[in-house]
Amino acid sequence: MAGKHKSDGVTPMSTSSPIDPFLADQGVLLLDGGLATELENKGYVLDSPLWSAHLLSTRPEAIREVHRAYLEAGANCIIAASYQASIPGFIAGGWTEDEATSLLRSAVILAQEAREAYLDSRPLPLRPLVAASIGPYGAYLANGAEYRGDYGVSKQALREFHEPRWEILTSASPDLLACETIPSFQEAEVLLDLLSQTPHQFAWVSFSCHDGEHISDGTPIRDCAALLDDCEQVVAVGVNCTAPRYISSLIEQLHAAMSNTEVVVYPNSGEVYNAGTKTWKGTSEPLSCGPIAREWHAQGARLIGGCCRMGPAHIEAIGAAF
């Protein structure tokens, strides 16, 4: 981030990126793994349109427990349970707007509480980071659109969906935002505009991809990287919830289009999600997490973790490799 600049003559931010101390100290920022799928592994039923966010109201301690498990596995950054949470989503589930606002903020607060409890038992030289998840509009639709990006809505509609949640989550003071599983170039443009209007907030932006060169709506990932590369507030650009077999190629594409920004990768297990049945199909790809994470790191990815069906054991294996 030290060499990051704005190409439009805007004065650079004076505050350094929260990821810089980790990269300087250990050369990598280890992210956590899948939250909802780990909750399912623990026996929680997430058959709600809100997915894991439903437990913000009913079982917040379960979310805190999973955050703690990832910290104990060595994660340097845990991602709050706000991926599928939104004001309209909560209201549709029967909560009031005030209750929805409180639940959104609580996602960040639960992660912060898990971090502080962990640090009380094991002080660390670097405080793990808390990232507030900004999931795509497709996650709210709960129909698998985050893997297609075919929303058929305007930029204004996307902004009206994202802006209230953005304001609420940033008000809870996360260390940064995780704009993740973004399937749409149009949506990335909207999120970049919102980020520019919160000038002291940092974020990474990661896309869902269906091959080694394109995000889910068919846009070349090089175009997405070029869009975001000159924004000083964007600490990393990359991919998540994408099959591991595409990651190496996507890292190459990202590096070809960026000169200022780190690369973030946190794939899923390689299984395919069926939005209709809300189940994962197929056999997860054989994956030796440690060695392959080192390969991705050698290619230039310095923020590495896991997504759906990647749990604390996967994160521990990646951390051990470094």
Expressed as residue numbers, the domain containing 81 is: 29-321
**How confident is the model over 56-79, as pLDDT tens digits?**
998 999 999 999 999 999 999 999
* Mean pLDDT, residues 298-317: 94
* Mean pLDDT, residues 5-12: 38
Q: What is the pLDDT of residue 44?
A: 82
In angstroms, the CA 241 to CA 50 distance is 18
CB of 221 within 8 A of CB of 209?
Answer: yes
Q: Which two tokens stand for residue 90?
A: 């909560």
- The answer as to whether 2 is a domain residue is no
In angstroms, the CA 163 to CA 10 distance is 23
- Where residue 280 sits, what CATH number does that domain have? 3.20.20.330
Number of domains the chain is built from: 1
Q: Please give the residue that has the higher pLDDT: either 273 or 319.
A: 319
- The answer as to whether 214 is a domain residue is yes
**How confident is the model over 235-278, as pLDDT tens digits?**
999 999 999 999 999 999 999 999 999 999 999 988 766 767 76
Q: What is the pLDDT of residue 287?
A: 59
- The answer as to whether 220 is a domain residue is yes
Assign 45 a pLDDT band (cuts: 50, 70, 90): confident
Rounded to two decimals, the pTM is 0.90
- The answer as to whether 174 is a domain residue is yes
Q: What is the pLDDT of residue 253?
A: 98
Report the chain's mean pLDDT, rounded to a whole number: 90
- The answer as to whether 22 is a domain residue is no
- The answer as to whether 232 is a domain residue is yes
- The answer as to whether 19 is a domain residue is no
Assign 284 a pLDDT band (cuts: 50, 70, 90): low
- The answer as to whether 15 is a domain residue is no
Q: Is the pLDDT of residue 5 over 60?
A: no
Q: What is the pLDDT of residue 283?
A: 47
* Mean pLDDT, residues 165-178: 98
**How confident is the model over 144-154, as pLDDT tens digits?**
888 899 999 99
CB of 107 within 8 A of CB of 177?
Answer: no
Torsion of CA 2, 223, 275, 44, to 10 degrees: 0
Q: Is the pLDDT of residue 4 over 80?
A: no
* Mean pLDDT, residues 72-94: 95
E strand or H helix that includes residue 44 = none
* Mean pLDDT, residues 227-238: 97
Q: What is the pLDDT of residue 137?
A: 96
Q: Which two tokens stand for residue 123?
A: 């002080």
Q: What is the pLDDT of residue 11?
A: 36
Torsion of CA 273, 315, 19, 217, to 10 degrees: -20
Torsion angles phi and psi, residue 289, rounded to 5: -60, -45
In angstroms, the CA 255 to CA 144 distance is 28
CB of 1 within 8 A of CB of 233?
Answer: no
**How confident is the model over 101-141, as pLDDT tens digits?**
999 999 999 999 999 999 999 999 999 999 999 999 999 99
**How confident is the model over 207-220, as pLDDT tens digits?**
999 999 999 999 99
